[in-house]
Chain A
């Protein structure tokens, strides 16, 4: 056994020695756009499902008009872990799409997604002329550009105009205190005391937009400092946000909110036609700009409007900003046809007609300067809110680190304990969370 162990170690050291030295940009192959080419089918994996899946598939098929030899096979329902497993298993898709830019730093550092800088240079593309500066914060890490944005997202407030009017409100809330006040006043109850219509559901873990991350943005709270050390305890805005959230949860009733959420169908219902806001059971909700497309697709009758999400009363200058950043795409390590993958990826992230069609279908915020000019989106009153939020320079994504979404997951678990009242000392809890995240960075 010991001999085998030593043998293994020796082998590993040898292998490590042999593979060291890669890193300088190797010359990359690209495909001349007009050259003839043998027919090829490239697979694209994404986590799109149902309606969004169909829209994206139709848009992807547009590439065959440009390059008749290329067909795209789009596989939906593939979350990041599925993509990672395929990369490590040695049979990755030709292009991968992810909804979790938090993982981009991990992909860049491990090389799971290839560095695209050589390809961009070979095709003489000036990054800063095509994409707004904000997108690079969640697509690159330590000088490696391993992903590019395929449209992007912004968060905002959706409100039910009829329900607001019913309770005597003519304008959406601008501060978090107004939000809490209106939420309590607009909540309607059944005879047995359970919630019939919720003014606002502040529960973490309910729908994908009610997270410590998005609420934290409304309070200007920062995840990390310059050296990527976690600042959840040292930045007082986090505690402020958590206190605000819990006081609202307690005012309405944690148990009642849980039951109400379950009666809607829980998290399952978020992307179905039973979505609480779309069925008029929730008066105000934080959600991304894609909800406008879902409302139209589900033929929901809700009379709604959008506005920037309320912010901390003490930081009114934050109004108009929120979490931004969204879908990213890249070329996994080990693809069989890297040059063709790049051609497809370039199309998916820069081609204006593709991105415009996709933006209209998904109602996602455009990610290139060209597509941001699109009149249809600019003139859609529901949608314009999100375009403005995206273009506000104070709107950011959270800083990405090689631990991927581990920080979001850890905070999420902590936050659900907090709102249930299981955390007695918030400061100590946040300090512990900071040290957990810092330690996670060492495991790597």
Chain B
């Protein structure tokens, strides 16, 4: 495993004359590295290619040995919209993911602030409790929660999914707390000397500085909710009007005995597309956010 070369030393190395044998080894290594990278890339991309290809085939073709669609059945995407209430499911998913994101950002910011920038009795204990909920299997709470929501008549709606997220989420609190702790105390102190209340400090000093972290947690929550299957299945699964795309997609197989793979793949692609689009536009936020969780953890 050769070490990673920092830019400075590479330039220095380039200035020194490199003996041809070493140069040859370097080229071979580079070719080898790139070959592996390319092979891996093909492996990672191939499923996408096949799924895309299948989504453009006619149903007969999916069962035949042909790998390439002939002709391109773009109409499959239209059929998906017509054969089941795709728009409603998308709306449900957007509602769930959107409101969940709003709730999480609104509720976790003050909590993270209190856990990172305020001194108070019980702070350590509270933080331990927050962390403990991170490791808590949700299964321990779903049976009673389900019963509570039955009594509230919320089963079959999206409310059980959204409302709890307005009361904090351990992962988000953790991330924001870590980030808030990196903001220098002097800024808060200066504001306090100026007579600002804690709320004002939070809103006027911390939040503007924390925009990258807030963006990251908002993005994480949105995507997590968009992809969520278990919770919508459990709480909204009994009412098709409240299905999110994840649940609808899984139920799709039941609606047409004898699976229509082309339509199934087309519907899956439509489900995945917004995520991919968001990803491409917000790549940097993503990668930085993930590093925030892992390395500084």
Verify whether A and B have any Cβ pair under 8 Å: yes
Known: A90-B150, A265-B63. A77 touches B255 (CB 8 A): yes
Chain A residues with CB below 8 A from B150, complex form = 88-90
Are B156 and A50 in touch, CB under 8 angstroms?
no
Are B254 and A77 in touch, CB under 8 angstroms?
yes
Q: Which of A42-94 contact B (CB under 8 A)?
A: 49-50, 75-77, 79, 82, 85-86, 88-91
Chain A residues with CB below 8 A from B211, complex form = none
CA distance A419 to B254 in the complex (A): 28
Residue in A50, A77, A89 whose beta carbon sits within 8 Å of that of B238 in the complex: A89
Chain B interface bracket (under 10, 10 to 19, 20 to 34, 35 or more): 10 to 19
Within 8 Å of chain A (Cβ to Cβ): is B153?
A: yes
CA distance A86 to B240 in the complex (A): 11
Are B258 and A272 in touch, CB under 8 angstroms?
yes
Closest to B233 in A: A85
Are A49 and B255 in touch, CB under 8 angstroms?
yes
Chain A residues with CB below 8 A from B237, complex form = 82, 85
Known: A85-B238, A265-B63. A91 touches B155 (CB 8 A): yes
Are B240 and A49 in touch, CB under 8 angstroms?
no
Chain A interface bracket (under 10, 10 to 19, 20 to 34, 35 or more): 20 to 34
CA distance A90 to B238 in the complex (A): 10
Q: Which of A234-281 contact B (CB under 8 A)?
A: 265, 268-274
A57: min CB distance to chain B, Å = 14
Q: Which of A86-129 contact B (CB under 8 A)?
A: 86, 88-91
B16: min CB distance to chain A, Å = 62
Are B258 and A265 in touch, CB under 8 angstroms?
yes
In terms of DSSP, what is the predominant structure of the interface of chain B?
A: loop
Closest to A86 in B: B238
Known: A85-B237, A265-B63. A90 touches B257 (CB 8 A): no
B56: min CB distance to chain A, Å = 21
Known: A77-B251, A88-B150. A49 touches B257 (CB 8 A): yes
CA distance A76 to B115 in the complex (A): 51
Chain A residues with CB below 8 A from B251, complex form = 77
Are B238 and A82 in touch, CB under 8 angstroms?
yes
Q: Which of B223-246 contact A (CB under 8 A)?
A: 237-240
CA distance A49 to B155 in the complex (A): 25
Closest to A49 in B: B257
Known: A77-B251, A82-B238, A265-B63. A89 touches B155 (CB 8 A): yes
Within 8 Å of chain A (Cβ to Cβ): is B256?
A: yes
CA distance A77 to B257 in the complex (A): 9
Most buried by A among B63, B237, B257: B257
A266: min CB distance to chain B, Å = 10
Closest to B157 in A: A91
A321: min CB distance to chain B, Å = 29
7 residue pairs, one from A and one from B, having the closest CB atoms: A272-B258, A89-B155, A271-B257, A86-B238, A85-B238, A77-B254, A89-B238
Q: What are 12 contact pairs spanning A and B, CB under 8 A?
A: A49-B256, A49-B257, A77-B251, A77-B255, A86-B238, A86-B239, A88-B150, A91-B153, A91-B239, A273-B258, A274-B63, A274-B258
